[in-house]
Structure 1
Amino acid sequence: MSSSIHDDLIKRCRETGLRRTKALDCLLEVLLENDSPMTLADLAEHPTLASQCDRATVFRLLQRLTVKGIVRRLGLHERAAYFTLLLPGRHQDFLICTECGKIEPISAPCPVHQLEKEIAENTGFSNLYHELEFFGTCPACA
């Protein structure tokens, strides 16, 4: 884990009014170590977090981090939600299976980046970002 990225995340948390706790530190550390989105169960059962807090605490932290724009919630509403960090300069789009709920990162250039720049220039909006998710049936479920 990069300590500078972790420090930047803690700074962003503080700027949004979140208090630094051991549980918050551990949650951010686990999310940073995993490139793939993780479910609440994955996070709550991770040894680093399980030794520091219970599932309810992890859930509350994820909700707060999502509202503050530090974590992105992915997935279908009726299925388990997945969570991933929103890091400045890092953008990731995802494929989501409507049958099993599997989530995969898309390894192709994002077609929306240029449009995002044009919208920002034309509207004057700053800190503009987008989230792109494609839904379909994965090969295993087809």
Structure 2
Amino acid sequence: MSEVVTQTIDRCRAAGLRRTKALEELIVTLLDSPRPMTLSELAASERLRDQCDKATVFRLLQRLAEKGVVRRLGLHERAAYFTLLIPGRHQDYLICTECGSIEAVKAPCPVHELEDEIRRKTGFRNLYHELEFFGTCPACA
């Protein structure tokens, strides 16, 4: 088991979640995915399809999102996408308002310096941000 998986499971346990095989498989699946995944994609994934049903995956995702372990992305009227939040790693996303596709921004984050300034001026701790850009993807344009 990778160090990131172990650390994420430790974060889950510290947040009051039970360590289950389904939880472990969900974390590994999200970590191995090159992009955020929908509930349907997760439930049908090789690691989870024989482990638990879609309702269990949904409940796990809800709990993980509430505890700040998973980030929910997407437009409210479309399928939600989920990605693992890993301390020290940051990713911003582009979301198409037409088809709902999501892809990672492949550019330096413009908000890190602002975040540092806000932290210095306000004294806030554990400050973070989530940045999503919305527009029309090239395929829909």
TM-score, normalization by structure 2: 0.98
CA displacement at 1:39 relative to structure 2: 0.3
Q: Does 1:112 align with 2:111?
A: yes
Alignment of 1:89-100 (within 5 A): 89-100=88-99
Which residue does the alignment assign to 1:39? Answer: 38
- Partner of 2:29, secondary structure, is helix
Q: Which amino acid aligns with 2:112?
A: H
- Partner of 1:9, secondary structure, is helix
Which residue does the alignment assign to 1:27? Answer: 26
- How many angstroms apart in 1 are the aligned matches of 2:38 and 2:68? 17
1:3-46 CA-to-partner distances (Å, cap 9, x unmatched) read 11011001000110000011001000100111200000100000
- How many angstroms apart in 1 are the aligned matches of 2:35 and 2:49? 19
Q: Which amino acid aligns with 1:102?
A: S
Q: Which amino acid aligns with 2:34?
A: D
Which residue does the alignment assign to 2:77? Answer: 78
- How many angstroms apart in 2 are the aligned matches of 1:70 and 1:41? 19
The total of aligned residue pairs comes to 141
Q: Does 1:123 align with 2:118?
A: no
Which residue does the alignment assign to 2:135? Answer: 136
Q: What is the percentage of aligned positions where both structures have the same residue?
A: 70
CA displacement at 1:89 relative to structure 2: 1.0
Which residue does the alignment assign to 2:48? Answer: 49
1:97-126 CA-to-partner distances (Å, cap 9, x unmatched) read 000000010000111000001111111111
- How many angstroms apart in 2 are the aligned matches of 1:41 and 1:130? 27
In angstroms, what is the RMSD of aligned CA positions? 0.7
- Partner of 1:48, secondary structure, is coil
CA displacement at 1:127 relative to structure 2: 0.9
Which residue does the alignment assign to 2:60? Answer: 61
Q: Which runs of 5+ in 2 are unaligned?
A: none
Which residue does the alignment assign to 2:100? Answer: 101
Q: Which runs of 5+ in 1 are unaligned?
A: none
